Amino acid sequence: MKEIIIRSLSEAKQGLDNLLSNEKNIESISNASKIMLASLINGGTIFSCGNGGSMCDAMHFAEELSGRYRLDRKALAATAISDVGHMSCVSNDYGYQYVFSRYLEAHGKVGDVLLGISTSGSSKNIIEAANTAKKQGMAVITLTGKEMSLLSALSDIDICTPAGKYADRVQELHIKIIHILIELIEHELF
């Protein structure tokens, strides 16, 4: 048991060390926060989406902005695309591939931002969302776990965190980046 615990924590530490030493990712996180800030300042909305654990991360990101993170402050316009009624309707009528893109088609506008989260970087519904966001005049920021993914090619900024062969290590880094993005937004606005 202890061997598994130590190995797991060591893998997580190695992933974090790799992220910390990657200047490109540090710069990408900074630039992503600037795009999000500009959108919020200009009355835009940040939409987020993902599948499974990444959906939970997308929801966590949105609720920390629209609710509260560290500061008591004004609510910020952020929405996770997670409406069950919408998702079941679209998946039934069009296919699960379009659950996020249809939402953006209805609600996204020029100046908004999409945060698409996909550990593989190849989730078809996130790729569709990125394509639709681009058509709507939105910026696309992605969190991925595989270099040179299909999704990263569609992104204005891709923050890629390869951290081993399992998605959980990638997701651990994604939540750290999400928290840093929120911290940067709060710091600059409040």
Q: Residue 11, class by beta-carbon neighbours within 10 Å (0-12 exposed, 13-18 middle, 19+ buried)? A: middle
Q: Provide the percentage of residues in the chain whose pLDDT is more than 90.
A: 94
| pLDDT number for residue 166 | 80
The first and second tokens of residue 2, run together, are 């202890």
| pLDDT number for residue 77 | 98
Q: Quote the CA–CA distance of 128 and 10 in Å, as a whole number.
A: 36
Q: Which of 112, 129, 116, 100 is nearest to 157 (CA)?
A: 116
Residues 17-38 have a mean pLDDT of 96
Going across the sheet that includes 139-144, the strands are: 78-80, 46-49, 113-118, 139-144, 157-160
Q: What is the DSSP letter of 116?
A: E
Q: Quote the CA–CA distance of 72 and 181 in Å, as a whole number.
A: 17
Q: How would residue 186 be classed by pLDDT, with cut points 50, 70 and 90?
A: very high
Tell which CATH architecture fits domain 2-189: 3-Layer(aba) Sandwich (3.40)
| pLDDT number for residue 139 | 98
Which positions ≥6 away from 11 have C-beta within 8 Å? Answer: 163, 164, 169
pLDDT above 90 (res 104): yes
| Helix (H), strand (E) at residue 75 | none
CA distances from 143 to 6, 33, 73, 88, 170 (A): 27, 13, 26, 25, 9
pLDDT digits (tens, 9 = 90+) for 113-152: 999 999 999 999 999 999 999 999 999 999 999 988 999 9
Residues 13-32 have a mean pLDDT of 95
Torsion of CA 76, 79, 80, 84, to 10 degrees: 140
Q: Where exactly are the structural domains of the chain?
A: 2-189
pLDDT above 80 (res 163): no
Q: How would residue 165 be classed by pLDDT, with cut points 50, 70 and 90?
A: confident
pLDDT above 80 (res 164): no
pLDDT digits (tens, 9 = 90+) for 61-98: 999 999 999 999 999 999 999 999 999 999 999 999 99
**Cα 34 to chain center, whole Å?**
15
Using DSSP's 3-state secondary structure scheme, residue 70 falls into coil
